[in-house]
Amino acid sequence: MAKSDIKFLASPQFGTQQKKYCRFKKAGIKYIDYKDPNYLIKFLNEQGKIMPRRHSGNSLKFQRRVATAIKRARHIALLPYVTDLLK
Amino acid sequence: MIKQYETVFIFTPVLSDSEVKKATQEYQSFLKDGGGSIVAEDLWGMRQLAYPIAKKTTGIYYVLEHMVDGTIIDKLEIKAKRDPNVLRFLTVKLDKHAIKYNDMKRKGEISQFKHKNKASEEADKTEDNG
């Protein structure tokens, strides 16, 4: 069997990853409000931990700002430090 | 140097409405005495805390935006620390983006702007509110 036939046994999209992007850069958001826990909850996992950049796709600049906002929100008890079943 | 700051206070839930008002007035007048000015204030009211602080599960949130000299901030924080009515506080320096954001939020422009990328169900929610 020729190599070209084997290629079509799997979906053409198989193995190709979608390019991640920073949602803040895309939407033009400059400031992340620490007083809005419903927005910040998107960057937390079920235990209330901050998601890594490889999951959220944030640029370094905005990942830092997200992390700061979450830490501030935790201090004023809008978000928990440790929990289970946050979502 | 005068800069714009934002302070969040969490008052104990045992305070009555008039006592909360008195406490907020106290902090406002303290800042004004120090040569500052109040940009905006926002009393959120009673809110569930994400975790208990000093064995309290609820707190009264109060957000105060002010323009004041940095040396006054130290005094404000000492004052808040010694105040038994304040469970917790947080003072943050606002940069130009934050000032713009807060301005837009006060005018009610922000809910659509910020949640542009959110799921449709949340977009419906903001429309209901507005």
ipTM value: 0.79
Name the domain count of chain A. 1
Lowest mean pLDDT, pick from A17-26, B16-25, B38-47, B87-96 = A17-26
Query: Does residue A13 lie in a domain region?
Result: no
pLDDT-above-70 percentage for chain A: 86
Q: How far apart are CA B94 and CA B119, in angstroms?
A: 29
In a domain, A12, yes or no: no
Tell me which chain A residue has its CA closest to the CA of residue B105: A33
List of chain B residues whose C-beta atoms are within 8 Å of the C-beta of residue A74: 50
> Is the Cβ–Cβ distance between A65 and A43 less than 8 Å?
no
A34 at the B interface (CB within 8 A)? yes
Containing structural domain, residue A72: 22-87
Q: Determine the distance in angstroms separating the CA of A28 from the nearest CA of chain B, rounded to an integer.
A: 9
**pTM of the predicted model, to two decimals?**
0.80
Does pLDDT of B111 surpass 80? no
**Residue A8 domain flag:** no
Contact A77 B90 (CB under 8 A): no
pLDDT value of residue B120: 41
CATH code for position A33:
4.10.640.10
Residue A69 domain-assigned (yes or no): yes
Tell me the β-bridge partners of B25.
none
Predicted confidence band at B126 (pLDDT cuts at 50, 70, 90)? very low
The helix, strand and coil proportions of chain A, stated in percent and rounded to the nearest 5, come to: 45, 0, 55
